[in-house]
Each structure stands twice: as C-alpha cells, then as structure tokens.
C-alpha cells in the first residue's frame, strides 16, 4: 500500500518541479536585456549638458567707489584738496632758506663780530626771512652803554614779543590740518548714517526682495567712512610734522640771535667774558 502511495505522489512532484524550472527560466529571460542579433556596441549617449547660470564680473573702479559714496563725497573731496594744498604751501614756506638762511647768518656774524650793529640791522632789513625780521625788531633795543650784557634782557624781550606775534600766524594756518583731521571722520560718519537710513527705508517699503537695492545704500555708508579716515590720517600727520618743523626753525633763529649777541659782547669787551673764570689758587 505504501509503495502505491509513493508512486501516486511522484507524478505530482515531477509536475511541480517542472513548473518551477519554467518559472525560473522565464524570470532570467525577463532580466536578460541582450537581444539576439544586436551585438553591435552602440555609443553611449552623453548626458545632457546642464546649463550653468551666467556670472557677470563687475569691475570696481575708483570713480565708481566715489560715485557710490553719495552726497558726502563732495565735501570730503573738498577736504582732501584742502589738505593737499596746505601741505604744499607749508612745504614751501617752512624751509631753512625762509627762516635762517646760511648766507645771511654768515654776513651778520661778520658785522656783529666787528660790532657794526647798524650795518647788521640794515642787512637784516633787506631780508624778508624770519631771522631778518626778528633782528630788525630785536637789535635796535641793544644798549651799547651796558658793557656787561649790552641790554640782553631787553633784546630777549623784543624777541619774545616778535615770536609770539609771528609764530601765532604760522600756527593759525597749521591748525587747519587739525581741523580737517577732526572734521573728515565726522563727515564720513554722517554719510554712513545717511546711507543706513536709506537702506532701512528701502527694507521697510520693499522688504528683502531685492538685495541690490540695499547694497547700494550700504556701499554708500561704508565708502564715506573709509574716505573720511583716508583724509584724516594724512592731515593728522601733516599737523604734527609741520608744527615740529616750525618749532625747530624758530629755535634755530633764536639760537642764532643769541650767538650774534655773544659776538657783539665779545667785540666790545673781550676780557670781561673771562672775568668769572678763576686764575690760580688764592690761599690767603
């Protein structure tokens, strides 16, 4: 009985195995993309080129930066011209040839060494330099009757009055550098505030839809600040440079005048300059 039951099941198993083999073969044929007779290698189709967005490079020029600064660049430009003009002017007038020319000093030393004070005053009057004007004011008060000092205190007082009056005029013009050095950054800051006000006004009306509208006003704010600092730094440098130059030249003129007085005193009384020096040891 068992042998007959197995013989009855065998055909069913065979049919099931055959059906499974057919299904597996069908799946492999479905996955096989090779078509018989078409074994020629076809060139691969290149992928479609992706269109890249066009990038425009904008070149920034100096004129463009100045124009982007807005209205504040006009007074700042005037400030820069003023700084340059003042620098050239003081470079021309604050020279040794305009204050204490060596040729005039040599001639005056010869006159004072011979105690020709009137001739020295006449030569000084012909020179429009600082030293010439100083000696015209100071030497006439020299006291020839005072053989010890020749009226040096009166001469020094006249020199001080002249220096206070004339040096004040020089410093008045040099102080313009200080004014420009302080005003330029303040004006640049005012342009910055103006640009930021415009930027926030555009943002309030249109929102953040068009950043280029905001960029223009922000550029105005930054350019004016930078321009103010660029003008202020050279102005500050020129202020200290020319102030120190004036002090140096005035000091040279004052020292030359003192030397001329010493030469005159030595010519009048050559022995008195040695009176205060000891000459031996007094043991009494």
pLDDT in tens, 228-268: 899 999 999 999 999 999 999 999 999 999 999 989 888 87
3-state secondary structure of 107: helix
Query: Which residue has tokens 């600064």?
Result: 69
pLDDT in tens, 114-171: 989 999 999 999 999 999 999 999 999 888 887 778 888 899 999 999 999 999 999 9
Burial of 130 by CB count in 10 Å (0-12 exposed, 13-18 middle, 19+ buried)?
buried
Predicted TM-score of the model (pTM): 0.68
| Pairwise CA distance, residues 254 & 100, whole Å | 10
- The separation between the first and the last C-alpha atoms of the chain, rounded to the nearest angstrom, is 172
| Pairwise CA distance, residues 202 & 196, whole Å | 10
Helices (H), the chain: 2-31, 62-68, 73-93, 96-99, 102-113, 117-125, 130-138, 152-206, 211-268
Given its phi and psi angles, is residue 144 left (phi above 0), alpha (psi -120 to 50 degrees) or beta? alpha
**Nearest 10 degrees: CA dihedral of 193, 194, 197, 202?**
-140
């Amino acid at each position: 009985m068992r042998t007959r039951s197995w013989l009855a099941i065998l055909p069913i198993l065979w049919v099931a195995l055959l059906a499974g083999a057919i299904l597996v073969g069908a799946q492999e044929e479905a996955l096989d993309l090779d078509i018989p007779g078409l074994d020629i290698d076809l060139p691969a189709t290149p992928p479609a080129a992706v269109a890249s967005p066009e990038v425009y490079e904008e070149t920034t020029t100096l004129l463009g930066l100045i124009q982007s600064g807005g209205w504040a660049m006009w007074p700042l430009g005037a400030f820069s011209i003023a700084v340059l003009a003042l620098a050239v002017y003081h470079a021309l007038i604050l020279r040794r040839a305009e204050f204490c020319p060596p040729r005039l000093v040599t001639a005056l030393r010869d006159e004072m060494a011979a105690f020709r004070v009137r001739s020295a005053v006449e030569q000084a009057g012909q020179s429009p330099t600082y030293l010439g004007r100083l000696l015209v004011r100071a030497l006439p008060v020299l006291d020839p009757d005072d053989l010890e000092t020749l009226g040096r205190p009166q001469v020094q007082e006249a020199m001080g009055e002249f220096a206070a009056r004339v040096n004040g005029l020089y410093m008045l013009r040099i102080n313009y550098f200080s004014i420009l050095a302080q005003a330029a950054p303040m004006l640049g800051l005012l342009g910055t505030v103006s640009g930021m006000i415009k930027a926030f006004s555009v943002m309030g009306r249109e929102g953040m839809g068009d950043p280029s509208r905001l960029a223009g006003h922000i550029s105005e704010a930054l350019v004016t600040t930078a321009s103010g600092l660029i003008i202020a730094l050279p102005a500050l440098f020129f202020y200290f440079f020319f102030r120190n130059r004036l002090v140096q030249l005035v000091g040279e003129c004052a020292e030359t005048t003192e030397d001329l007085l010493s030469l005159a005193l030595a010519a009048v009384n050559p022995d008195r300059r040695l009176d205060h020096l000891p000459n031996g040891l007094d043991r009494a």
